[in-house]
Amino acid sequence: MKPRRVWAVARKELIQILRDPRSLGMAIAIPMLLLLLFGYALTLDVDRVPLLIWDQSESPASRDLISRFAGSRYFAIRGFVQHYATVERAIDDGQAMMALVLPTDFGNRVPAGRRASVQVVVDGSDANTATIALGYAEAVVHGYSQEIGLHVLTGREGRVVTPPLEVRPRVWFNADMESRNYIVPGLIAVIMMVIAALLTSLTIAREWERGTMEQLISTPVKGPELILGKLAPYFVLGIGDVLLAVLLGEYVFEVPLRGNVGLLFGMAAVFLAGALALGMLVSIVARSQLLAIQTAMVLTFLPAFLLSGFMYSISNMPTPIQVVTYLVPARYFVALLKGIYLKGVGLEVLAGQALLLVTFACLVMFVANLRFKKRLE
């Protein structure tokens, strides 16, 4: 392999990129646009749940409980109602997600230390959000119930009663419990996987469709030199995209980067090499730009989004699907990014994922070189 030939092919491909603003737009603008859109729009936080109140008791005890919901950042009281029809209509229209119904005897039973029930009506259309919202409501009611119980016991026994257990939570790695800190690192992996494969999926297929492959075949450039030369400009663009994504995460989304920056870019380089080689392999096999870009999208976007652990926990998937996730390279890069970003760990912990990522890049590069033949078929 001669560096001069690799440089000649890389220079030719770079000129082609500069002459085609669509390629530059796909390589730079689209990843940034996707990162901004997904970073702001995609969130797992459940805050400000729209809440309706039906206070049939209208007592100091009921108003005290309602104030707990009003003071919580997880709920936003949208109004007070007088019957179930209004609750049903508001939930159907999407104006409210939850309703709190306090019975008429609430104000009499609670001060006396007797058991009282409250009803929580929730829109279960989105099961995950409904479950989280119910958990918040139960926590508010439970805290209020404990306080009332301790107050009643104190009044009966004439001394201060303290609860036997006290929970002191301590959250590691994401102390503010912001889903953005969890999403943005994984989002970088998904976007880079898709964009890198899409960019190089057009390279060889474009040469065949334009009739310029015959000229390349007639040159002394060897197959590995041609592939490496075509990958080089996109690799540089990809590293630039990673740099922009890291800067956006740091200064726009304020996601803390606790790990080693050099390790981050080193693993990003390995991942980019594998993703670019995968796109090149698709281009070699397809020989059609339309077929190549469709195949690249199927092989990258769906697996990277659904099976990488970016959005959905792999441990909760059925066992056959968990086995399939081992074939998704984005899974290892997502684990690396989250470990570097959130936990600040290095290769002493992430060596397994790093090794599998290197194996993927080498394997795809080898297969791409094996499949490319410098002859007309």
DSSP 95-156: S-SEEEEE-TTHHHHTTTT-----EEEE--SSHHHHHHHHHHHHHHHHHHHHHHHHHHHHHH
Write down the pLDDT at residue 48. 87
Closest-CA residue to 48 (of 71, 82, 81): 71
Q: How far is CA 120 from CA 78, 140, 327, in A?
A: 15, 12, 44
How far is CA 159 from its chain centroid?
Answer: 51
Would you state the structure tokens that stand for residue 293, as one six-digit string?
């870009």
Domain spans, the chain: 3-43+178-371, 49-157
Q: How far is CA 320 from CA 2, 128, 299, 307, 343, in A?
A: 45, 23, 18, 12, 29
Write down the pLDDT at residue 152. 62
Query: Do 357 and 270 form a contact (C-beta atoms < 8 A)?
Result: yes
Would you state the structure tokens that stand for residue 111, as one six-digit string?
């001060």
Would you state the structure tokens that stand for residue 86, as one six-digit string?
């209004």
pTM of the model as a whole: 0.77
Would you state the structure tokens that stand for residue 140, as one six-digit string?
């508010």
What is the side-by-side order of every strand in the sheet holding 49-55?
A: 75-80, 49-55, 98-102, 119-122
Q: Going residue by residue through the chain (377 aa), what tens digit of pLDDT does each one get?
A: 677 778 888 887 788 777 777 767 767 777 788 788 877 777 777 788 999 999 998 888 889 999 999 988 889 999 999 988 999 999 888 889 999 999 998 888 877 777 888 899 999 888 888 888 898 999 898 888 877 776 766 655 555 556 666 677 787 877 777 777 888 888 888 888 877 777 777 777 777 777 676 676 677 778 778 888 888 888 888 888 888 888 888 888 888 888 899 999 999 999 999 988 888 888 888 777 778 878 888 888 788 888 888 877 888 888 899 899 998 888 999 999 989 988 888 888 889 999 999 999 999 988 888 887 755 55
Alpha helices in the chain (DSSP H): 3-19, 21-24, 30-41, 60-71, 84-93, 106-109, 127-157, 179-200, 203-210, 213-218, 223-251, 261-286, 289-306, 319-325, 329-338, 347-371
How far is CA 312 from its chain centroid?
Answer: 8
Query: Do 200 and 31 form a contact (C-beta atoms < 8 A)?
Result: no
Q: How far is CA 284 from CA 299, 368, 374, in A?
A: 15, 7, 11
What is the Cα–Cα distance from 130 to 138, expressed in whole angstroms?
Answer: 12
The count of residues in the chain is: 377
Write down the pLDDT at residue 264. 92
Q: 49-157, what's its fold?
A: abc type-2 transporter like fold (3.40.1710)
Q: Is 287 left (phi over 0), alpha (psi -120 to 50) or beta?
A: left
Would you state the structure tokens that stand for residue 36, as one six-digit string?
């901004």
What is the Cα–Cα distance from 160 to 142, expressed in whole angstroms?
Answer: 20
Write down the pLDDT at residue 35. 82
Q: Residue holding tokens 């004439």?
A: 158
Would you state the structure tokens that stand for residue 336, as one six-digit string?
């690396």
Would you state the structure tokens that stand for residue 47, as one six-digit string?
């805050």
Write down the pLDDT at residue 227. 81
Would you state the structure tokens that stand for residue 270, as one six-digit string?
């390995």
Write down the pLDDT at residue 303. 85
Question: 98-102 and 49-55 as β-strands: parallel, antiparallel, unpaired?
Answer: parallel
Q: How far apart are the two ends of the chain, measured CA to CA in Å?
A: 24
If one counts every other C-beta atom within 10 angstroms of the C-beta of residue 129, the result is 16
